[in-house]
Amino acid sequence: MAGRAWAPHTFAVDRERIREFAHAVGETDPCYHDVDAARAAGHPDLVAPPMFAVVYCGPAIEQAMLDPAVGIDFAMLVHGAQEFEWGPLVHAGDEITTSVRLADVSERIGMSFYVFESTSANQRGEEVCAGRWTQIVRPRA
Dihedral through CA 24, CA 30, CA 33, CA 38, nearest 10? -140
Question: Rounded distance, CA 58 to CA 46, Å?
Answer: 20
Are the beta carbons of 117 and 84 closer than 8 angstroms?
Answer: no
DSSP string, 3-58: T-B---EEEE--HHHHHHHHHHTT---GGGT-HHHHHHTT-SSPBPPGGGHHHHHH
pTM: 0.93
Average the pLDDT over 44-69 and give the result.
97
Q: Residues 91-114: pLDDT tens digits?
A: 999 999 999 999 999 999 999 999
Give the per-residue pLDDT at 2.
Answer: 83
Phi and psi (nearest 5°) for 57?
-85, -25
Domain ranges of the chain: 9-13+51-137
Average the pLDDT over 17-22 and give the result.
98
Pick the CATH number of 9-13+51-137 from 3.40.190.10, 3.30.70.380, 1.20.58.340, 3.10.129.10: 3.10.129.10
- The answer on pLDDT for 1 being more than 80 is no
